Amino acid sequence: MKYYLDITLLPSDDIGIHFLWSKVIMQVHLALVEIQDADKKVPVGAGFPQYREKKADKAGFVGNKLRLFSIHKEDLERLDIHKWLNRLEDYVHIKAINEVPKDLKGYENFNRRSKSGNAEKHIRRRISRAEKHNNETPEQAAEFFKDYTMSEEDKALPFINMRSLEGKKDFRMSITRKVVEPSNAPVKFNTYGLSKEGVLPKF
């Protein structure tokens, strides 16, 4: 990753940071969809420079900065993020495209974590696929998951509230961060700028 641009969210009275995140990520997602290739992948990755994992007394938090990376400057130019955020201009600060500095603190990867979910979700899913499970009754399905609990680390992950455009249910997009080894393998990202293999410079 050679080029990047920073988007800083500016929360104010009544316009909270989480509210802004859901608006901003939605627009970034739409922008990335515009430049996706045939496999629905994009050459632009998203990082959260102020990502904070859950500590004993502090909840996990994605911070208030979003950093978009690309190998080729043209890709960030083609994305034209200004156009997609122009209705949010009063609430974000977008810096110009810059070269990634030489002096790095390491490399990291951001990915989406589909939460393991609560027991009821699994029960519902199992019932909806009843023919796979020899037509269990709801009671049997509930029995199957009786000892299930959602994993603690999943509960602690920083997340962004996503508003569904299709009027389906809103959902939470949990973000994981891993420290990774540098690599120059070309990686494509999904239309949220996340990927399992992504390697983003940290500075």
- Which positions lie near another protein, rule CB under 8 A? 10-16, 19-20, 23, 27, 87-91, 118, 149, 167
User: Which of 26, 19, 35 is CA-nearest to residue 80?
Assistant: 35
The distance of closest approach from Cβ of residue 80 to another protein in the complex, given in angstroms and rounded to an integer, is 17
Nearer to another protein by Cβ, of 15 and 179: the residue is 15
Paired tokens of 113: 């974590």
**CA contacts within 13 A on the Cβ side of 122:** 16
Q: State in angstroms the smallest separation of the CB of 155 from another protein.
A: 8
CB of 164: closest distance to another protein in angstroms? 12
| DSSP-derived 3-state class of residue 106 | strand
CB nearer to another protein: pick between 41 and 63: 63
- CB neighbours of residue 64 within 10 Å: 17
Among 61, 57, 35, 32, which Cα is nearest to 48's? 61
Q: Of 41 and 54, which CB lies nearer to another protein in the complex structure?
A: 54
Q: What is the dihedral of CA 5, 161, 189, 9, to 10 degrees?
A: 0
**What is the nearest approach in angstroms of another protein to the Cβ of residue 83?**
14
Phi, psi of 201 (to 5 degrees): -65, 140
Tell me whether residue 4 or residue 21 sits nearer to another protein (CB atom): 21
